[in-house]
Amino acid sequence: MRDAPELLERARELTGRSLRQARLITDTTNFMNLELGDVLEVEGRRFVLKGTEYEGRFGLDEQPKYWVKRAVDWEDGSAKILKLEFFEEFDISRGGIKVRCYRSPAKEARILAMVKGNPNFMQGITLRDEAGNLVRVLERIHGGPLDQHLQKLECDHQEYFQRHMRGVLTKLSVALEAIGWLHNQGAHHGDIRRDHLFVDEASGAWPWIDFDYKFEFKQNPYGLDLFGLGNVLTYAVARRDITYHWVRQEYPQAEEKLRPEDFSPVIKNRLMNLKKIYPYLPESLNNVLLHFSNGAAVFYERVEELMAELTPAIAELPQGEEA
């Protein structure tokens, strides 16, 4: 390797580690073999690898995502996330229904280009390596996912309702409308979860991350995204997932009032009719949540329908503080 000494020196400098070697990688096909200190060169840009990203899902053990690397930009030393090309297909279960899911680098690359400059989505560019693989170079977001952000607010639910809920839902509305905008561009997020909505502490924006999930829809192309939005919204209202088991433990007096129609049609033990345990919630807000429940006569099919009812409901909440 002609410039190995230069590579090693710069890789040591950028990683802060005493590396033995620094390989120059131009083909990321075998991403499992990449190591700390490797230098990726794609379309004339270089990135030094610092490690593999892990994904924890709601408190479960973290799983390594070998195709997602923490990296440092060779030129300016800024932190980047590199998502390397990894296509896979698998089945996931939603409410007992098996759904075929695809991880599509091409879809994520397309959405990254579509949302360039839009603070409501993670930012990045896509470069092609020597073998033609799509390497997504993502800006690191300075902050954490929404659930972590909400857990930092030290107060009980009634105080949260009085002081914070309006501010939180106002910020969340911007994120929900951003998904509506995405749908209007003919695209879907594909994996809407509360840990895929980040709170950027530097800019104050709440950007969505991870756009590579793809489903082949039959009738309603936005149903899965709306299901995710309903879960995120309900979480933001309750500041936790409310399960039947949790209600029995924490609000035993409410248990006898619960009916099957109060729960999610998909996640059977998740309470959507939150007014049953938080009676101070306004009817208008609770009615929005009920659209995601078993008792709903009609489900939202578009984000615009959701926002038409959520926006006035937020206006009825106590003024409180900004999120």
Partner 1 sequence: MPIWNRILATVDEHDSSLDAVRYLAGVLGGSDACRVRIMSVYQAPEPDAHPKQEERAAAAAQRKELLLDRLEEARQILVGARIAAYNVSTRLEESGGRTIAETIMAAQRQGGFGTIVVGRRGVSKAEEFLFGSVSNSIVHNATDCAVWVIN
CA distance 116 to 190: 18
Could you say whether residue 321 binds partner 1 (CB under 8 A)? Answer: no
Q: Confirm if 322 and 167 have CB atoms less than 8 A apart.
A: yes
Among 102, 181, 244, 251, binds partner 1 (CB under 8 A): 102
**How far is residue 169 CA from its own chain's centroid?**
17
Total residues at interface with partner 1 (CB under 8 A):
29
The distance of closest approach from Cβ of residue 209 to partner 1 in the complex, given in angstroms and rounded to an integer, is 18
**Per CB under 8 A, which of residues 105..124 are in contact with partner 1?**
106-107
Distances (CA, A) of 171 to 98, 99, 196, 253: 33, 31, 15, 33
Could you say whether residue 99 binds partner 1 (CB under 8 A)? Answer: yes
Could you say whether residue 202 binds partner 1 (CB under 8 A)? Answer: no
CA distance 200 to 202: 5
CA distance 213 to 132: 21
Q: Which two tokens stand for residue 318?
A: 């106590």
Could you say whether residue 220 binds partner 1 (CB under 8 A)? Answer: yes
Listed residue (63, 81, 70) closest to 37, CA to CA: 70
CA distance 273 to 48: 49
Could you say whether residue 94 binds partner 1 (CB under 8 A)? Answer: yes
Amino acid code (one letter) for 91: D
From the list 5-13, 57-65, 96-104, 232-240, the region that binds partner 1 by CB under 8 A is 96-104
Site string for partner 1, 258-287 (x = CB under 8 A): -------xx---------------------
Could you say whether residue 217 binds partner 1 (CB under 8 A)? Answer: yes
Q: From edge to edge, which strands make up the β-sheet containing 88-94?
A: 88-94, 97-103, 213-215
The distance of closest approach from Cβ of residue 187 to partner 1 in the complex, given in angstroms and rounded to an integer, is 10
Could you say whether residue 60 binds partner 1 (CB under 8 A)? Answer: no
Handedness of CA 164, 168, 169, 170 (dihedral sign): positive
Among 15, 28, 104, 286, binds partner 1 (CB under 8 A): 104
Could you say whether residue 223 binds partner 1 (CB under 8 A)? Answer: yes
From the list 47-55, 140-148, 219-227, 272-280, the region that binds partner 1 by CB under 8 A is 219-227
Could you say whether residue 89 binds partner 1 (CB under 8 A)? Answer: yes
From the list 52-60, 218-226, 235-243, 303-311, the region that binds partner 1 by CB under 8 A is 218-226
Residues 6+ apart with CB under 8 A from 188: 182, 214, 215, 221, 222, 224, 225
The nearer residue to partner 1, 84 or 165, going by C-beta atoms, is 84
CA distance 96 to 125: 37
Could you say whether residue 294 binds partner 1 (CB under 8 A)? Answer: yes
Kindly list the residues in this chain that would bind partner 1 in the complex (CB under 8 A): 87, 89, 94-97, 99-100, 102, 104, 106-107, 186, 214, 216-221, 223-224, 227, 265-266, 292, 294, 299, 301
